[in-house]
Amino acid sequence: MDSESRITVKDENGSEIGLDVLEETKVNGMYYLLATDAEENEDGECYVLKDVSKPEETEAVYEFVTDENELDYMFQIFKELMDGSDVTLSK
């Protein structure tokens, strides 16, 4: 997946928001995305999302990772994957 990929997800209020996908990975059989709301060359928030779609669904369904342990673990993985890129991840 290239850095130009964009997805639309619903936030906790049910509003649709557009996010740019920075990276993706598969861990323990689950697909995860690292996405941001940042405009080009600006700071923004990063989000970790996971694919919760069922096998019969033709499109991926992503939800925000909210479990702190899972979020910390995935943040470290994405930090390593993004090492050497022009994106700086910080908590």
pLDDT along the chain (91 residues), means of 10: 70 86 92 88 85 89 93 91 68 57
CA 37, CA 39: separation in Å to the nearest integer? 7
First and final CA of the chain: distance in angstroms? 24
CB of 70 closer than 8 Å to CB of 77: no
> Which two tokens mark 21?
């996908």
Q: State the pTM of this model.
A: 0.79
CB of 23 closer than 8 Å to CB of 77: no
CA 72, CA 55: separation in Å to the nearest integer? 27
